Amino acid sequence: MALEIETDIELDIEDLKDDIETTRKTDRWSDAPSQIKELFHQLEWNIIDGEFMDTTDLIGPNLEAGVSARTLIAGPMAVGIAEVGRRFKADEYFLPEVMMSAKCMHAALSILKPLIIEAKTEDIGLCVIGTIQGDLHDIGKNIVAMMMEAAGFTVIDLGVSTPPEDFIAAIREHNPDIVGFSALLTTTMNMQGETLKAIVAEGLRDTVKVLVGGAPVSQTWADKIGADAYCADALIAVEKAKACVQTHKDLAGGAPELAAALVAMDSA
């Protein structure tokens, strides 16, 4: 049984700088053995520093130490890329540095993906996910897709810059329980609404539960476009997707009771 370590950490972007600089003191992996804390620390920093080769080399020792792929993704990898985002926002990093860190994330995720799929023991539903048209950001979407797989969903990943017609075609072909839209740009988030309108126009709205996420997205936005749920991060996305196919499986996509029940999970 692979080691699962508590990763439900507070990723407050404003506090992250201080946290990262005092990372050993803040001891964010409080329930991890010391050898694993050191491995997590190295992995986190290799992503921040964009050390592509070293990042991939660190995955093996972490797995050999018994850490699950899911813990690595939701823990040190998520923290590392969040710090990259903070540095970019603060003009401490520019696009080349961000691209190096993104490359580290992609390489690490591609090593972990087969393990996540292999470890899957149940099939609880089908999820179609994609980054919305015009948007090329896919790190967050990939993390969500992997966490969904790890939770027992079969995931059809439509990739980046996905036009509404590709979502429609995938819904017709795969009959998913969940459709996930990712958007990272204020200029592309509108396409979440347009894609949802296209799903409604095709008469498919009540057959799917639509979950939205991405940095500029919020509950207010989800309400405005009529999505079933806003998901602030991958773990919340998994919890809401599971609720959609388990507790609320009899509610149709677009039902106001469904949206209300999923919002209530945020304050539970």
**Where on the chain is the footprint of ligand B1M (CB under 6 A)?**
78, 81-82, 84-85, 88-89, 95, 98-99, 102, 129, 135-141, 143-144, 180, 182, 184-187, 211, 213-216, 231, 233-234, 237
Based on CB atoms, which residue is closest to ligand B1M, 39 or 47? 47
Min. distance of Cβ 33 from ligand B1M in angstroms? 25
- How do 229-230 and 209-213 pair as beta strands? parallel
Based on CB atoms, which residue is closest to ligand B1M, 180 or 253? 180
CA distance 149 to 9: 21
Min. distance of Cβ 76 from ligand B1M in angstroms? 12
Based on CB atoms, which residue is closest to ligand B1M, 59 or 145? 145
Min. distance of Cβ 114 from ligand B1M in angstroms? 20
Based on CB atoms, which residue is closest to ligand B1M, 65 or 103? 103
Min. distance of Cβ 259 from ligand B1M in angstroms? 14
Based on CB atoms, which residue is closest to ligand B1M, 89 or 249? 89
Backbone angles phi, psi at 124, to 5 degrees: -100, -10
Based on CB atoms, which residue is closest to ligand B1M, 88 or 166? 88
Q: How many CA atoms lie within 13 A of 204 on its CB side?
A: 24
Based on CB atoms, which residue is closest to ligand B1M, 67 or 75? 75
Min. distance of Cβ 159 from ligand B1M in angstroms? 11
Min. distance of Cβ 197 from ligand B1M in angstroms? 18
Q: How far is CA 81 from CA 102, 182, 231, in A?
A: 8, 17, 18
Closest residue to ligand B1M using C-beta atoms: 140
Min. distance of Cβ 64 from ligand B1M in angstroms? 25
Q: How far is CA 28 from CA 44, 113, 179, 226, in A?
A: 12, 25, 33, 37
Q: Which amino acid is at 131?
A: T
